[in-house]
Amino acid sequence: METQRSCLKSSLGYLLNIAQSTVQRRLLHAFKDAGYDITVEQWTVLVHLWEQDGVSQQELSMATGKDNASICRLIDSLEKRNLVVRVPNKSDRRINVIYMTSAAKSIRTDLVQIAEDTFSDLLNNVTQSDKETFYSVLKTLSE
């Protein structure tokens, strides 16, 4: 039984889950320490909007890997924080287009720097070659 437990703790799924939890926890704490009440999930939506503003909820759902109900809740919370607005699509009013507010645009530089510093700190003891391999493997897994 101990061998099976040891094997499970070194499995890809287990290690990816632990790594994801660690990254999310560190990023969340870094945002909070800097005075930003932003979750990692909200950060993911903002990152996509900073790259392409004015997209539908469905596009955000697909881009972030979140289901429609989750993306709706995320947009609701970002809207309450005055970071995004929903605008009905002119040609199909059933579709909402999501736009950033000036408040979301104004915090971009700070949040990106916090994230970059956090990721840099997390990967501080990883060689450049290992980082390149790591990113390559993650991209392959994500396709």
Enclosing domain of residue 31: 2-127
Integer Cα distance of 97 and 54 in angstroms:
6
Q: In terms of Cα–Cα distance, which of 52, 56, 49, 45 is closest to 94?
A: 56
pLDDT score of 51: 95
Assess whether pLDDT exceeds 80 at residue 3: no
Any domain includes 136: no
In a domain, 115, yes or no: yes
pLDDT at 6: 63
The tokens describing 32, both together, are 């909070």
3 against 97, higher pLDDT: 97
Query: In this structure, is residue 141 part of a structural domain?
Result: no
> Is residue 133 one of the residues assigned to a domain?
no
Q: Please report, as a single letter, which amino acid is at residue 131.
A: K
Residue the block writes with tokens 């939506």: 45
Model confidence pLDDT, tens digit, residues 6-51: 677 778 888 889 999 999 999 999 999 999 999 999 999 999 999 9
| Model confidence band, residue 92 (pLDDT cutoffs 50, 70, 90) | confident
Number of structural domains the chain divides into:
1
CATH label of the domain that carries residue 81: 1.10.10.10
Whether residue 35 lies inside any domain: the answer is yes
Query: How is 15-73 classified by DSSP, letter by letter?
Result: HHHHHHHHHHHHHHHHHHHTT----HHHHHHHHHHHHS-SEEHHHHHHHHT--HHHHHH
Q: Is residue 85 a part of any domain in this protein? A: yes
> Which residues are CB-neighbours of 60 under 8 A, at least 6 positions away?
45, 48, 49, 66, 71, 75, 98
> Please, are residues 24 and 40 in contact by the beta-carbon 8 Å criterion?
yes
Tell me the pTM.
0.84
Residue 81, in any domain of the structure: yes
Kindly report, residue by residue over 102-120, the tens digit of the pLDDT.
999 999 999 999 999 999 9
Q: Does residue 138 lie in a domain region? A: no
Confidence band for 4, pLDDT divided at 50, 70 and 90: low
